[in-house]
Chain A
């Protein structure tokens, strides 16, 4: 889990702030515990690389990909996932 500490706190950004095509590593998830667990079960554990693929035509939700899994995620939830640069 060393990757987690590579970037300083200020380098971390909420996932929904990434531009399409941009990547990063999941630093932490600030959601309530049940939701955090679910996201982790889907493979979004801290340290994992994640890519913001695109936004839906109306701007929300987002498509992200992690461990080969493409997920649709609403901005409100993506904002709880903090991403550090690779």
Chain B
């Protein structure tokens, strides 16, 4: 028997043995590992949900953003099985990170996920030939496998007859019919999952002799992997031969010279026998055709009429795009309309909690740290959650019903212009609400380069956090005059949104032509059948996504909030602040509330000016003066790293307006009246306002975005690239606007 020497082998029996260490741990360690595998849309997840119920959790495979779904399931013997829902795949020779995980788990190359003791391979009874392509590849690997022929209810309706014993004879594995959605055949499946299954000894490969010789040669040089069945070594060798040079897992699994040799051998084969790369696929489909001709009676042509009629509307030349725009409009309207009150509620709750703490804790640095650092950091993280949850709710519904693929189908032409696929559209659109859920939504993009490009350009979409800044500056400096049928403030606001889009297009084009250039990917995508979504699995997705964000990005956001708190609070004010504090105490004692209030604002303003943040602002002044910004804006730029809209409250503090919520109107006046002490002239002009808005459009200021990019790309490379590139671009653009504007005489 070629069962790998895993501690959990034969776990169903081990669990019954008398001496196991701790009850819970012992059982968990000894439980059987069963993988559910199949093509996309084979009904894998339905089966997984039916077998595990709610006992499932979603995590990530280390180093990639592929979701790892695991759960537990009780077997008839009373033993527990640990189920893993592997991503849907078409082939063992991967074209996406999802498929790479499947191959690595099955070959035993995935260090965090030991190979399964049993594979339950799910195929769609109504599309057997296509689904069997991967099934046969996995059977050949020599792993114990049960073939579950799903959707038997529809197959019977169509009059399809399947000779299961014949399939078992041909494939050498147990084959059963199930209907996961209805629960039919699951009892039989559970009983099989409890049994020891012998791996099949069948071969379906028909390789030409020359290819076989090359594979044998390569195989002999491969290192021994204890988790890899003997027969899988052959497929491992083929994987090396087909490698495109970008597969990190393969590069890690063998010595560099072996991989180099494989590449050389592949190039030689390309010359001597073109077509070798796909010969085995043709051979396999031929073998499948022969088996099915003997074992399946198909009723002939059938058409999914429901699908036809839905598609005729949703992808109609005119109605399709119109419905798409309406649907997207409705989704984003809901995100705004539903998330805002919840965000306000969270803000209020966090504020109230902060006040409550202030009442309990003695005044001093600790209280300030807890209230202004920790609590506000947690608050910042939590205010993102409603947007993430609501957006992912809609995105999962669109994905699970099958609409998302149609949306990508409709938008592909437009996105193709910038070198991306239709799949990039929705993440970018989401980024107008907030780049964070937008970036998290890029996981549906298969191609790594396209995904990274989409992530890098997503923050150029003007998010809702920039709106308060635009509103403040436009309100203060742009005269409300009509230009034709639209007002000047409207034009300026619109231009800011378009500037972001233009920057995104240019950066995407540059990236795709330079660092992210590569072999032309195959833009092929399945348009799945329409389905009713499973509300339970949608809620699980929403819960897991939100939690992943809080856990991973939240810690970084918290850390940076504390750093910013420190920068804005230390060092404590000097003698002049002390003097003001004495006056403040005196005013309070005298019961002069207006004077005390005024002094309080001046203390806040002066303390901020003398803090590290204030000093950084002043230190930055020479660097930002050419953009028309003074140190006060510099302080705002520093604190806006916590969140862009913090700019507004920072400016309010700097201008001694206190922290009241109704500061915007007086703040506009203060900005208009501000004087540059060096020249005695107005410090800010409409030109400065435009320059500052341009800076806000292009700069990467949002640490939460940086944290999420770090999380989603699994390296610091891209977040750092984004910080440098976007801020350099912002500086240059603002420089061009301010200096160009001055040269044109617009400076006053």
Q: Which residues of A contact B (CB under 8 A)?
A: 31, 33-43, 45-46, 48, 53-54, 56-61, 63, 67-74, 77
For A74, the closest partner residue in chain B by CB is B523
Interface stretch, picked from B19-27, B30-38, B122-130, is B122-130
Q: With A61-B413, A71-B524 given, is the CB distance from A41 to B320 under 8 Å?
A: no
Interface stretch, picked from B311-319, B639-647, B687-695, B697-705, is B311-319
For B528, the closest partner residue in chain A by CB is A70
Verify A56–B413 contact, CB threshold 8 A. yes
Cβ-based interface call for B471 (8 A): no
Q: How far is the CA of A53 from the CA of B408 in the complex (A)?
A: 17
Cβ-based interface call for B522 (8 A): yes
Q: With a CB–CB cut-off of 8 A, which chain B residues contact A71?
A: 524-527
Q: How far is the CB of A26 from chain B (nearest CB, A)?
A: 11
Q: Mark B228-253, 1 if CB is under 8 A from A, else 0.
A: 00000000000000101000000000
Q: Considering the complex, which residues of chain B in the window 280-330 have a beta carbon less than 8 Å from any beta carbon of chain A?
A: 281-282, 285, 311, 315-318, 320-321
Number of B residues, CB within 8 Å of A: 44
Q: How far is the CB of B21 from chain A (nearest CB, A)?
A: 45
Verify B244–A34 contact, CB threshold 8 A. yes
Verify A56–B410 contact, CB threshold 8 A. yes
Verify A33–B524 contact, CB threshold 8 A. no
Q: How far is the CB of A75 from chain B (nearest CB, A)?
A: 10
For A58, the closest partner residue in chain B by CB is B413
For A46, the closest partner residue in chain B by CB is B282
Q: Which residues of B contact A (CB under 8 A)?
A: 90-91, 93, 95, 126-127, 129-130, 133, 242, 244, 270, 274-275, 277-278, 281-282, 285, 311, 315-318, 320-321, 405, 408-410, 412-414, 416, 422, 519, 522-529
**Contact partner of A77 among B408, B413, B524, B526, CB < 8 A?**
B524
Verify B523–A61 contact, CB threshold 8 A. yes
Verify A41–B91 contact, CB threshold 8 A. yes
Verify A45–B320 contact, CB threshold 8 A. no
Q: How far is the CA of A60 from the CA of B523 in the complex (A)?
A: 12
Q: How far is the CA of A43 from the CA of B416 in the complex (A)?
A: 25
A-B contacts besides A33-B274, A61-B409, A77-B522, 11 pairs, CB < 8 Å: A34-B242, A38-B524, A40-B282, A56-B412, A57-B317, A61-B422, A63-B311, A63-B409, A67-B127, A70-B529, A72-B526
Verify B133–A43 contact, CB threshold 8 A. yes
Q: How far is the CA of A9 from the CA of B23 in the complex (A)?
A: 70
Verify B278–A40 contact, CB threshold 8 A. yes
Verify A73–B524 contact, CB threshold 8 A. yes
Q: How far is the CA of A41 from the CA of B129 in the complex (A)?
A: 11
Q: Mostly helix, strand, loop or mixed at chain A's interface?
A: mixed
Q: Which 9 A-B pairs have the closest CB atoms?
A: A58-B413, A70-B527, A41-B91, A40-B281, A68-B127, A37-B278, A33-B277, A67-B130, A43-B130
Q: How far is the CA of A67 from the CA of B320 in the complex (A)?
A: 26
List 19 A-B pairs, Cβ < 8 Å.
A33-B278, A34-B519, A36-B278, A37-B277, A38-B524, A40-B278, A43-B133, A58-B410, A61-B409, A63-B409, A63-B527, A67-B127, A67-B130, A68-B127, A69-B127, A72-B526, A72-B527, A74-B416, A77-B522
Q: Which of B93, B270, B281 has the most CB of A within 10 A?
A: B281
Q: How far is the CB of B637 from chain A (nearest CB, A)?
A: 41
Q: With a CB–CB cut-off of 8 A, which chain A residues contact B321?
A: 57
Q: How far is the CA of A39 from the CA of B90 in the complex (A)?
A: 10
Q: How far is the CA of A58 from the CA of B324 in the complex (A)?
A: 13
Q: With a CB–CB cut-off of 8 A, which chain A residues contact B525?
A: 71-72
Verify B526–A69 contact, CB threshold 8 A. yes
Q: How far is the CB of A55 from chain B (nearest CB, A)?
A: 9
Q: How far is the CA of A30 from the CA of B90 in the complex (A)?
A: 21
Q: How far is the CA of A34 from the CA of B413 in the complex (A)?
A: 23
Q: How far is the CA of A77 from the CA of B282 in the complex (A)?
A: 20
**Contact partner of A43 among B244, B274, B285, CB < 8 A?**
B285
**Contact partner of A72 among B90, B93, B409, CB < 8 A?**
B409
Q: How far is the CA of A43 from the CA of B130 in the complex (A)?
A: 6
Q: How far is the CA of A74 from the CA of B270 in the complex (A)?
A: 26
For B281, the closest partner residue in chain A by CB is A40
Q: With A37-B277, A41-B133, A46-B282 given, is the CB distance from A56 to B409 under 8 Å?
A: yes
Q: How far is the CA of A44 from the CA of B522 in the complex (A)?
A: 14
Q: With a CB–CB cut-off of 8 A, which chain A residues contact B405?
A: 72
**Contact partner of B522 among A35, A60, A67, CB < 8 A?**
A35
Q: How far is the CA of A59 from the CA of B409 in the complex (A)?
A: 10
**Contact partner of B410 among A31, A42, A53, A57, CB < 8 A?**
A57
